[in-house]
Homo-oligomer: A and B are copies of this chain.
């Protein structure tokens, strides 16, 4: 990641009765991650209305890094992640915004940059009505981990 100029962000503390990530067997999941950067959210609103495709792409990239950080914290580091299995990308969308796939490419592409072939994942991208705290994008990931750390 250093070569890519990327670093894992600190993991946000959930504001509720859940955890940022959990491992069962060789599968680790993240909670749905919002585009927090240093505890601050960037642009808010619906993509195709208040938020541009470019801004939403960047938000998806941030969400993916936050999801990766959440998983890495539980697995004992990013080297414990063997591959990315699945990405679910929720895009808060204006009713006539149809480029959810291009938005969630922000998540898929950064995972590809970091993991190469292991970053190839299945994915669903959908356009929802609204997201928590009015963020434009939320991303959840499922990963395969190298070693079973707990169950």
Contact = CB atoms under 8 A, between A and B. Distances in A.
Contact of A121 (B18, B27, B144): B18
Nearest to A87: B18
Nearest to A15: B101
A108 interface: yes
Contact of A120 (B22, B27, B90, B108): B22
Chain A contact residues: helix, strand, loop or mixed = mixed
B126 A17 contact: no
A16 B110 CA distance: 12
Given A16-B105, A112-B17, A133-B98, A138 B126 contact: yes
Contacts of A127: 92, 128-132
A96 B18 CA distance: 24
A138 B138 CA distance: 18
A24 B144 contact: yes
A31 B98 contact: no
